[in-house]
Amino acid sequence: MDVTIFGSGYVGLVTGACLAEVGNRVLCIDVDPRKIDLLNSGGVPIYEPGLEEMIKQNRDAGRLSFSTDAAEGVRHGLFQFIAVGTPPDEDGSADLQYVLAVARSIGSHMDGYRIIVNKSTVPVGTADQVAAAVSEALRARDAEVEFDVVSNPEFLKEGAAIEDFMRPDRIIVGTDNPRTGELLRALYAPFNRSHDRLMLMDVRSAELTKYAANAMLATKISFMNELSNIAEAVGADIEKVRIGIGSDPRIGYQFIYPGCGYGGSCFPKDVRALERTARGLGYKPQLLQAVEEVNFRQKDLIFNKIKTYFNDDLAGRTIAIWGLAFKPNTDDMREASSRVLIESLWAAGATVRAYDPVAMHETQRIYGERPDLVLVDDAHSALEGADALAVLTEWSEFRSPDFHAIQSRLKDRVVFDGRNILDGRLATASGLTYISIGRAPMRPST
Ligand code: UDX
């Protein structure tokens, strides 16, 4: 089938590459000529495991191409995916200007029936706005062409996006036209394993499903983070509590890991946007507000622990940080907890020596050259001359470090574990003080 994807960012490229992989002819459009040039010359503007190879293979096979020409894009595909950004407005609502610009462009060039598929995360009611923008553009050129607007939210996790697309838990399709639903069922048929995973529903329910999923997951994390602070106050160990409650299948073990807060491009933005939607309709979303507030507070936690440990005196100290990305297997630093810690440490007069397996360039891009930020090439170099170590991202390579090497390099022999991934007994056996989330600090046992 012929598919056009507007927006060659994270969601657009993964969707385009995966749809081409199963045999469709996919044309990806972007307004940024540099991005399209890069893609046409074999580069990929984002880091996502497996994506570069998949793009290359499908481009070489002639199934995947890139262009800045929107008119060509509208001519190409029966399916017109909208996968452009919806950045938050100043008040936290999703900014729809890019989505609606694509809708107008489709309306201006469309010469036959098209299925317009909303992949971008958009507030409930956006499909109606997209339909109105397309109709208006058609009217402006006196054209009468049929089209449908479908909501098909993505549920991709960064770092596992290809796997999530190729082997989805569910494919949500919101449409009021059963015939369109069947065409999408055919497009997505290659991604079903063992049984049909496509769920057809009305447009608004599909739009809300995306927000509901992310808000639920964010709620689980904030709930555990709140509980971890209570655990610490009452002298309990949150990791024991986590295992205890996770054994109940109604609760489950997934997404109940306490830590220094959630980040990324989805959870913070979507929780805020859903909150705005509810408020705009006169409903006060108390739980969503609390989820966000708890997360906000949690991002300060490691800084507060470091500050307390050093008796409020951080001026002139150096803190090593392992992990800058908001989670492992990505270089994405949007709303990362590391940024809150780094900026708080600077404000307190400290220097940061940081290492991340892939997010070094991104850190450099965000902060530029500055004397109080030293970016190093490996985890151990980060420890040189540092007073303490803070672990902020749960990368596998940090899980089993050489504690003796850490102990011998740090001036103050203290490790702050923002993700509870280190073995406190091994750390303390090597002479380190181990401070983590939701548990009492552990002192050196040697
Ligand atoms: C998320 C959703 O998982 C995905 O389905 C949706 O499409 C987009 O948003 P992503 O933003 O890639 O995906 O990240 P995810 O793996 O869900 O992690 C989000 C954040 O929560 C990370 O900062 C992570 O460290 C944190 N987290 C996750 C916890 O603090 N505790 C947990 O138990 C799980």
ipTM of the complex: 0.91
Active site residue 28: no
Does 441 reside within a domain?
Answer: no
Distance 142 CA to ligand 1 centre (A): 46
| Same domain flag for 105 and 19 | yes
What pLDDT, on the 0 to 100 scale, is given for residue 86?
Answer: 87
Distance from CA of residue 172 to its chain's centroid? 19
Distance 355 CA to ligand 1 centre (A): 21
Q: What pLDDT digit, counting tens, does each position of 165-221 carry?
A: 999 999 999 999 999 999 999 999 999 988 999 999 999 999 999 999 999 999 999
Q: Are strands 64-67 and 79-82 parallel, antiparallel or unpaired?
A: unpaired
Does 177 reside within a domain?
Answer: yes
What pLDDT, on the 0 to 100 scale, is given for residue 274?
Answer: 94
Consecutive H or E run containing 305: helix 301-309
* Pocket test residue of 120, 221, 394 for ligand 1, highest count of atoms within 8 A of CB: 221
What pLDDT, on the 0 to 100 scale, is given for residue 45?
Answer: 92
| Same domain flag for 42 and 168 | yes
What pLDDT, on the 0 to 100 scale, is given for residue 47?
Answer: 86
Residue numbering of the annotated binding site = 30, 35, 86, 121, 155-158, 210, 255-259, 263, 269, 327, 334
| Same domain flag for 331 and 412 | yes
Which residues, at least 6 apart from 122, have a Cβ–Cβ distance to it below 8 Å? 86, 94, 96, 99, 151, 207
CB atoms inside a 10 Å sphere around CB 46: 17
| Same domain flag for 156 and 273 | no
**Residue whose token pair is 């980060």:** 382
> Quick one: which atom of ligand 1 is closest to the CA of 337?
23
Residue numbering of the annotated binding site for NAD(+) = 30, 35, 86, 121, 158, 269, 334
| Residues in the chain where the model's pLDDT stays below 50 | none
Residue nearest to atom 25 of ligand 1 (CA): 327
CB distance 388 to 350 below 8 Å: no
What is the amino acid identity at position 183? L
Among 145, 175, 201, the domain boundary falls at 201
Q: What pLDDT digit, counting tens, does each position of 212-253 carry?
A: 999 999 999 999 999 999 999 999 999 999 999 999 999 999
What pLDDT, on the 0 to 100 scale, is given for residue 446?
Answer: 66
Angle between helices 203-234 and 286-298 (to 10 degrees): 50
| Same domain flag for 189 and 68 | yes
CA distance 446 to 53: 49
Identify any residues that bridge with 3 across adjacent strands, giving them in sequence order.
Answer: 26, 79
Query: What domain range is 308 assigned to?
Result: 299-435
Which residues lie with the beta carbon below 6 Å from any ligand 1 atom? Answer: 154-158, 214, 217, 221, 255-257, 259, 262-264, 266-267, 326-327
CB distance 46 to 214 below 8 Å: no
CA distance 407 to 4: 55
What is the amino acid identity at position 77? G
> Quick one: which atom of ligand 1 is closest to the CA of 260?
30
> Quick one: which atom of ligand 1 is closest to the CA of 266?
9
What pLDDT, on the 0 to 100 scale, is given for residue 35?
Answer: 97
| Same domain flag for 22 and 150 | yes
Distance 246 CA to ligand 1 centre (A): 18
- The total domain count for the chain is 3
What pLDDT, on the 0 to 100 scale, is given for residue 158?
Answer: 86
Which residues, at least 6 apart from 143, have a Cβ–Cβ distance to it below 8 Å? 110
| Same domain flag for 305 and 287 | no
Residue 97 sits in a domain whose CATH number is 3.40.50.720
Give the burial class of 200: count Cβ atoms within 10 A of its Cβ; 0-12 exposed, 13-18 middle, 19 or more buried.
middle
Identify any residues that bridge with 54 across adjacent strands, giving them in sequence order.
Answer: none
